[in-house]
Structure 1
Amino acid sequence: MRTQHGFTLLEVLIALAIFATAGAAILQASASHLRAMAQLEELALASIIANNQLQQAQLNKNWPPKELEQGELTMGNRDWQWQLRATSVPDQDLRELTVTIRLAETPEQVVYRLKTYVGRPDVSD
Structure 2
Amino acid sequence: MMMFRLNHSRSRHDCGGFTLLEVLIALSIFAICASTLLQQSGRSVRQASYLETRAQASWIAENELARLRLSEQFAPVGKQEKEITFANRQWFVSQDITNTNNKDLRKAVIEVRDSDSELATRFQLIGFLGRY
User: One fold, TM greater than 0.5?
Assistant: yes
Return the offset for 1:65: 2.5
In the alignment, the residues of structure 1 paired with residue 49 and residue 95 of structure 2 have an alpha-carbon distance, to the nearest angstrom, of 25
In the other structure, the counterpart of 1:101 is: 112
1:14 corresponds to 2:25: yes
Secondary structure (helix, strand or coil) at the match of 1:25 reads helix
Aligned length, in residue pairs: 121
In the alignment, the residues of structure 1 paired with residue 48 and residue 28 of structure 2 have an alpha-carbon distance, to the nearest angstrom, of 30
Secondary structure (helix, strand or coil) at the match of 1:106 reads coil
Return the offset for 1:104: 1.5
Return the offset for 1:76: 2.1
Gap regions ≥5 residues in structure 1? none
In the other structure, the counterpart of 2:129 is: 118
**2:66 counterpart letter in structure 1:** Q
Return the offset for 1:64: 4.6
1:49 corresponds to 2:60: yes
Structure 1 stretches of 4+ moved >2 Å: 63-66
CA contact (8 A) 2:77 2:99 kept: no
Secondary structure (helix, strand or coil) at the match of 2:119 reads strand
Return the offset for 1:73: 1.1
CA contact (8 A) 2:81 2:93 kept: yes
**2:35 counterpart letter in structure 1:** A
1:24 corresponds to which of 28, 32, 35: 35
In the alignment, the residues of structure 2 paired with residue 69 and residue 58 of structure 1 have an alpha-carbon distance, to the nearest angstrom, of 16
**What are the superposed Cα offsets for residues 48-103 of structure 1, whole Å, 9 maximum, x if unpaired?**
10011111111112235242222111122211010111111111111001110011
Secondary structure (helix, strand or coil) at the match of 1:92 reads coil
